[in-house]
């Protein structure tokens, strides 16, 4: 389990460094073809970070409200879920997050919040009725691991980098067609490069962002298994969720990566551009840990 955790953390930061390298390369090429130079990268990052910070501070409230989540404010309202979250939080050494239930037959769950002190965990009524005790514990341990590992912070960094790449691509496009402060910025070659970057750069950025999301899912699986000391519980939960898969009623693409399983249709869940790795692969890794333990 420790090896899996270290491996996924290391690969995540390698991907982020690659992400920054792609952004730097775009900025360098832009600087050689226009008068703005590195200043364009600074502008793109500033705009992107500003937009991302808004989501950072208000995003958890938005996703909880749009998903129809209702907070369990006292233990008596749902002692089963409350006690399980509380016990796992004590084991993880983090404050107990706020607990929410979503009235939806789809079996799914997510965690949100910018830090452990501001975190929330939400589960659907569908997952509560589908899973046994050890399986639900595995799911909740996975979600608490997202909080413990500051995955929201990592994905915020990835979102900011994607945003900066998109903005730079837009700069290329506009300078290519409208011209800039120098003759070379309005040249045909600049226009061609701008169009190529407008098409390719966001795609490259999105692929890297999704790769980071996959690694954080594997990390949360391994961390959750370490938390419960029972990888088989989460493995069986993922198999059940996959077998009884149905889309979540109220969800958007912007929040899809938060859920433990892809909240869209099973066809989208198997896509190369899915926010989640294949369930079979996740279960295989969990059972490797169980066998090694």
pLDDT digits (tens, 9 = 90+) for 68-125: 999 999 999 999 999 999 999 999 999 999 999 999 999 999 999 888 898 999 999 9
Distances (CA, A) of 119 to 5, 111, 133, 176: 22, 7, 23, 44
Asked if pLDDT for residue 213 goes beyond 90, the answer is: no
User: Which of 59, 1, 51 shows the shortest CA–CA distance to 218?
Assistant: 1
The reported pLDDT for the residue numbered 34 is 61
DSSP-derived pairing of the beta strands 120-124 and 109-112: antiparallel
DSSP-derived pairing of the beta strands 98-102 and 120-124: parallel
Cα separation, 136 vs 151, whole angstroms = 21
Tokens of 73: 């404010």
Instruction: Determine the average pLDDT of the residues in 15-29.
Output: 73
Helix, strand, coil % in the chain, rounded to nearest 5: 75, 5, 20
User: Which of 213, 189, 231, 226 shows the shortest CA–CA distance to 272?
Assistant: 213
Range with lowest mean pLDDT among 34-48, 80-94, 132-146, 253-267: 34-48
Q: Is residue 225 very low, low, confident or very high in pLDDT (cuts 50, 70, 90)?
A: very high
Tokens of 118: 């501001």
Residue 30, φ and ψ in degrees, nearest 5: -60, -40
Instruction: Determine the average pLDDT of the residues in 260-273.
Output: 67
CA angle 83, 84, 90 (to 5 degrees): 85
Residue 111, φ and ψ in degrees, nearest 5: -125, 150
Query: Bridge-partner residues for 112, per DSSP?
Result: 120
The reported pLDDT for the residue numbered 62 is 80
For the entire predicted model, the pTM comes to 0.80
Respond yes or no: is residue 239 known to be catalytic. no
Cα separation, 211 vs 140, whole angstroms = 23
Asked if pLDDT for residue 269 goes beyond 50, the answer is: no
Question: Can you give the C-alpha Rg of the chain in angstroms?
Answer: 21
Cα separation, 64 vs 168, whole angstroms = 32
The reported pLDDT for the residue numbered 55 is 67
Higher-pLDDT residue of 38 and 238 is 238
**Residue 260 contacts residue 247 (beta carbons within 8 Å):** no
Q: Is 126 exposed, middle or buried (0-12, 13-18, 19+ CB in 10 A)?
A: buried
Which position among 143, 239, 280, 285 bears the catalytic label?
Answer: 143
């Amino acid at each position: 389990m420790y090896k899996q955790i270290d491996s996924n953390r290391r690969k995540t930061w390698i991907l982020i460094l690659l992400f920054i390298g792609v952004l730097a390369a775009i900025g360098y090429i832009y600087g050689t073809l226009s008068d703005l130079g590195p200043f364009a990268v600074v502008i793109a990052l500033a705009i992107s970070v500003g937009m991302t910070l808004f989501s950072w501070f208000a995003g958890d409230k938005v996703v909880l409200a749009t998903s129809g989540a209702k907070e369990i404010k006292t233990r008596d309202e749902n002692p089963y879920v409350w006690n399980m979250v509380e016990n796992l939080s004590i084991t993880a050494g983090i404050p107990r997050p706020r607990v929410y239930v979503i009235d939806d037959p789809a079996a799914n769950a997510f965690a949100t919040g910018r830090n452990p002190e501001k975190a929330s965990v939400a589960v659907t009524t569908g997952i509560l009725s589908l899973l046994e005790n050890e399986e639900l514990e595995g799911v909740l341990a996975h979600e608490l691991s997202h909080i413990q590992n500051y995955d929201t912070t990592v994905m915020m960094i990835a979102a900011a980098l994607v945003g900066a790449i998109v903005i730079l691509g837009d700069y290329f496009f506009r300078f290519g067609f409208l011209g800039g402060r120098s003759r070379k910025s309005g040249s045909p070659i600049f226009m061609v490069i701008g169009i190529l970057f407008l098409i390719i750069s966001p795609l490259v950025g999105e692929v890297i962002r999704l790769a980071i999301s996959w690694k954080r899912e594997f990390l949360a699986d391994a961390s959750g298994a370490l938390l419960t000391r029972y990888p088989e519980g989460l493995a069986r939960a993922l198999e059940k969720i996959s077998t009884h898969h149905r889309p979540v009623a109220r969800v958007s693409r912007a929040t899809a990566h938060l859920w433990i399983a892809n909240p869209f249709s099973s066809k989208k869940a198997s896509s190369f551009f899915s926010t989640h790795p294949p369930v079979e692969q996740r279960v295989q890794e969990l059972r490797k840990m169980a066998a090694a333990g």
